[in-house]
C-alpha cells in the first residue's frame, strides 16, 4: 500500500471511529518545527478587547478603568458591535479620566457577541518568519452559561482580526479557549484537560490527541495537562485562574489558606490547586504559590481573593482587585516581585469576577513583530 493510500485509509477509519480526531487532522497549520507562541511578557504590538454590549453593560466601568491604564503604555484595539456601543464606551472612558480620542486607541465597528475576547479571539503564532493567527472553534464555553447565549459572531472574530492585520488565518477545528492556554514562549504549554476534554466542547477527544495537537500547533515539546474544576467555575477550570507562567521556568499556582473560602485539605478547590502544583512541578518547573488571603462578599456571593487573572503588557501588569485594601496591597507587592520593572495596577473589577472572569479574560494580546526574529531564550 502506498504511503498516500495508507494516509487516506487512516482518515477513513478515523472518520468512522473518532470524528474529533479527524477534525484535528484536517486542521490547517504549519508544522511544529516552524511554530512558536510568544509568552505574554514578550514585546507586544497591541491589546484587543470587545466592549460589553447591553447584556453586559454592568461590566463597562471595569473596562473603562483597565482601558485607561492600557493606553498609557501601548495600543488598544476596541471592538464595538454598534455605533451606540462605541458612544457608550467613549462616555465611560471620559468619565474615568481617559481620552477617547487618544492616539493609542483604535476603534472598530464589527460584530461580536460578548466581552471575553481572551477566549474567542486569536491565538497568535510565530511561524517561518511571519505572524499567523490560529482560529480555534468557539461554542460559548460548551454552553455552560446557557443554551441561548449567541456565539457565531464571536467565533468569527479571529478571521476579522486577521483581515484587518493582513495576517494569515489557520482554522483549527477543535473547540477551545485561549484562556486555557499558558505558554512559556520557549518549549511548553500548560492547560486544563477538564476544559478541552469537556464532552460539550470536544466529544470523543482524548488526552493523547490533545498532546499531539498542542505539540504540532504550538511547536512545544512539553505539554502539561492539569485536571480539576474549582467550584462554581463554569469555564471548566481555565488555567488562567489556576496557574500562570511568570518566566520560562517558573509558574505561579493559587493556594487556599485558612482565611479563604476554600480550605487546605478540603478535597475540593484545594485539591485542584494542590494537584496542579504537583503536576507542574513534576514537569520540571519551579512552582511559586500565591495565597488567597481573604474573602469578599459581592452580589450575594462569597469570593476568594484570587489575583492570578492578571494581564501582562509593555511595562505594566493589571490585576483584578477585590476592594479589600489589605489583600489588594499584598497582591500588588507579590505581583511586583513576579514582574520586576513593570508597573503593577490593581483595579477593582468585582462585577467581572462575579460574571466569571477578570482582566485577562477580557483582553487578547497581540505580540510585536520583533518576536518574529527574537530568540526565545532572550525572553526567559
List Cα–Cα distances, 43 to 166, 188, 310, in angstroms. 20, 19, 16
Residue 85: phi, psi to the nearest 5?
-65, -40
Q: Rounded CA gap, 358 and 79, in Å?
A: 18
Are 76 and 65 within 8 A, CB to CB? no
342 three-class SS: coil
C-alpha radius of gyration, the chain, whole number: 20
pLDDT tens, residue by residue, 15-24: 333 444 434 4
User: Among 24, 22, 23, 20, which Cα is nearest to 9's?
Assistant: 22
Q: What is the DSSP letter of 120?
A: H
CA 79 to chain centre: 17
For position 376, what pLDDT does the model report? 54
Angle at 339 between CA 335 and CA 342, to 5 degrees: 100
Q: What does the DSSP 8-state code read for residue 64?
A: H
* Most distant CA pair in the chain, distance: 70
For every one of its 380 residues, what pLDDT tens digit does the chain have, with 9 covering 90 and above?
333 333 333 333 333 334 444 344 344 444 555 899 999 999 999 999 999 998 999 999 999 999 999 999 999 999 999 999 999 999 999 999 999 999 999 999 999 999 999 999 999 999 989 999 999 999 999 999 998 999 999 999 999 999 999 999 999 999 999 999 999 999 999 999 999 999 999 999 999 999 999 999 999 999 999 999 999 899 999 999 999 999 999 999 999 999 999 999 999 999 999 999 999 999 999 999 999 999 999 999 999 999 999 999 999 999 999 999 999 999 999 999 999 999 999 999 999 999 999 999 999 999 999 999 865 544 44
The DSSP code sequence of 95-114 is: HTT--TT-TTEEEEE-----
Closest among 214, 240, 228 to 312, alpha carbons compared: 240
Q: Are 183 and 218 in contact (CB under 8 A)?
A: yes
Separation of alpha carbons 321 and 298, rounded Å = 13
Contact 376, 186 (CB under 8 A): yes
pLDDT score at 373: 82
How far apart CA 277 and CA 226 sit, in angstroms, is 9
* H or E element at residue 332: helix 325-338
Per the CB < 8 A criterion, the answer to whether 219 and 33 are in contact is yes
Could you tell me the domains of the chain?
A: 34-379 (3.75.10.10)
pLDDT tens readout for residues 54-68: 899 999 999 999 999
Amino acid at each position: 500500500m502506498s504511503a498516500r493510500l495508507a494516509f487516506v485509509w487512516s482518515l477513513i477509519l478515523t472518520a468512522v471511529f473518532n470524528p474529533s480526531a479527524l477534525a484535528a487532522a484536517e486542521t490547517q497549520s504549519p508544522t511544529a518545527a516552524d511554530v512558536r507562541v510568544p509568552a505574554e511578557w514578550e514585546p507586544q504590538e497591541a491589546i484587543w478587547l470587545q466592549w460589553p454590549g447591553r447584556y453586559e453593560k454592568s461590566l463597562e466601568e471595569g473596562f473603562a478603568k483597565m482601558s485607561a491604564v492600557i493606553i498609557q503604555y501601548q495600543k488598544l484595539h476596541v471592538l464595538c458591535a454598534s455605533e451606540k456601543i462605541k458612544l457608550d464606551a467613549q462616555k465611560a472612558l471620559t468619565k474615568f479620566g481617559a481620552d477617547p480620542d487618544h492616539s493609542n486607541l483604535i476603534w472598530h465597528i464589527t460584530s461580536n457577541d460578548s466581552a471575553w475576547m481572551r477566549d474567542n479571539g486569536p491565538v497568535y503564532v510565530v511561524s517561518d518568519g511571519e505572524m499567523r493567527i490560529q482560529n480555534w472553534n468557539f461554542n460559548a464555553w460548551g454552553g455552560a452559561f446557557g443554551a441561548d447565549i449567541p456565539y457565531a459572531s464571536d467565533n468569527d472574530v479571529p478571521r476579522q482580526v486577521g483581515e484587518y492585520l493582513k495576517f494569515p488565518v489557520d482554522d483549527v477545528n477543535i473547540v477551545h479557549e485561549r484562556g486555557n492556554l499558558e505558554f512559556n514562549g520557549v518549549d511548553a504549554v500548560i492547560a486544563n484537560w477538564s476544559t478541552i476534554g469537556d464532552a460539550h466542547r470536544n466529544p470523543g477527544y482524548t488526552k493523547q490527541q490533545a498532546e499531539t495537537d498542542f505539540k504540532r500547533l504550538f511547536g512545544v515539546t512539553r505539554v502539561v495537562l492539569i485536571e480539576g474544576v474549582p467550584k462554581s467555575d463554569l469555564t471548566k477550570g481555565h488555567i488562567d485562574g489556576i496557574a500562570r507562567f511568570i518566566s520560562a521556568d517558573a509558574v505561579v499556582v493559587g493556594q487556599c489558606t485558612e482565611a479563604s473560602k476554600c480550605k487546605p485539605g478540603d478535597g475540593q478547590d484545594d485539591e485542584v490547586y494542590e494537584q496542579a502544583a504537583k503536576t507542574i512541578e513534576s514537569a520540571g518547573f519551579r512552582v511559586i504559590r500565591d495565597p488567597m488571603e481573604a474573602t469578599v462578599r459581592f452580589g450575594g456571593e462569597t469570593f476568594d481573593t484570587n489575583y492570578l487573572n492578571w494581564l501582562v503588557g509593555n511595562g505594566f501588569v493589571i490585576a483584578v482587585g477585590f476592594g479589600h485594601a489589605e489583600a489588594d496591597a499584598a497582591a500588588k507587592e507579590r505581583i511586583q516581585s513576579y514582574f520586576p520593572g513593570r508597573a503593577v495596577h490593581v483595579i477593582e473589577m468585582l462585577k467581572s469576577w462575579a460574571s466569571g472572569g477578570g482582566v485577562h479574560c477580557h483582553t487578547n494580546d497581540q505580540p510585536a513583530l520583533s518576536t518574529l526574529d527574537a530568540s526565545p531564550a532572550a525572553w526567559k
